[in-house]
């Protein structure tokens, strides 16, 4: 059994894209994770970006031919608040033809739907990419009523999940770098 020395392995380019809106309570999970990830040392080729709600920026970043994409966001799946999920979405059916119009119409400067952003990126010419989603079950995503005050902090269970999310991301990056 032979193995390639680490110095001869090809550089894997990984984008860790943290998304969310800090003004909508737990929707700021990805942004909080990004601020904590900035203090970590990852191998060359691993890039951490706080995209916030800038879907267009993420779509254009995907034109840079990364080997893998790790999205960090809230994911409402009906679990207990603070529950972390590692999801590998099936994007095989996503083509520029199927996602193009939906992606263009749904890009909004005040929110971000990752699936629509990925579809739009495909219409721009981005290649299919191995994508993982690290999601956290929210307790609150702020209010739908624009007349109420903004929530600028994470709920207690989501804040408590941040450290575990960092460990999960470290583990995922380690696996992706040495694929």
- Please state, in angstroms and rounded to a whole number, the distance separating the CA atoms of residues 105 and 86: 28
- Is 1 a domain residue? no
Is 48 inside a domain boundary? yes
Q: Residue 165's closest CA among 132, 131, 135?
A: 135
DSSP code per residue over 53-99 = T-HHHHHHHGGG--SEEEEEEE--SSS-TT-EEEE----TT--HHHH
Q: Does the residue 2 lie in any domain? A: no
List the domain range (segments joined by +) for residue 140.
11-177
Tens of pLDDT, residue by residue, the chain (179 residues): 445 454 555 668 999 999 999 999 999 999 999 999 998 999 999 999 999 998 889 999 999 989 999 999 999 999 999 999 999 987 766 655 555 454 444 455 555 788 888 888 888 999 889 999 999 999 976 555 454 557 789 999 999 999 999 999 999 999 999 87
Would 21 be classed as within a structural domain? yes
The answer as to whether 118 is a domain residue is yes
Give how many domains the chain has, as a whole number: 1
Read off the pTM: 0.83
Could you give the residue ranges of the DSSP H alpha helices within 87-147? Answer: 96-106, 114-124
Give the domain CATH number at 144.
3.40.50.1450
Whether 67 is covered by a domain: the verdict is: yes
- Contact by Cβ (8 Å): 38, 166: no
Give the β-pairing of 14-19 and 130-136.
unpaired
């Amino acid at each position: 059994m032979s193995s390639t020395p680490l110095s001869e392995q090809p550089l894997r380019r990984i984008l860790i894209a943290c998304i969310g809106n800090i003004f909508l309570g737990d929707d700021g999970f990805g942004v909080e994770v990004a601020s904590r990830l900035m203090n970590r040392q990852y191998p060359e080729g691993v890039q951490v970006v706080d995209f916030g709600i800038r879907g267009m920026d993420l779509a254009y970043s995907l034109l840079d031919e990364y080997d893998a994409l790790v999205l960090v966001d809230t994911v409402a799946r009906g679990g207990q608040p603070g529950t972390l999920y590692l999801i590998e979405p099936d994007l095989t059916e996503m083509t520029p033809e199927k996602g193009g119009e939906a992606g263009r119409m749904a890009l909004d400067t005040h929110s971000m739907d990752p699936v629509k952003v990925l579809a739009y990126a495909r219409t721009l010419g981005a290649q299919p990419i191995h994508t993982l989603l690290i999601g956290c079950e929210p307790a609150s995503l702020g209010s739908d009523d624009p007349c109420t005050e903004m929530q600028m902090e994470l709920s207690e269970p989501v804040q408590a999940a941040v450290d575990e999310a960092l460990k999960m991301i470290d583990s995922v990056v380690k696996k992706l770098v040495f694929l």
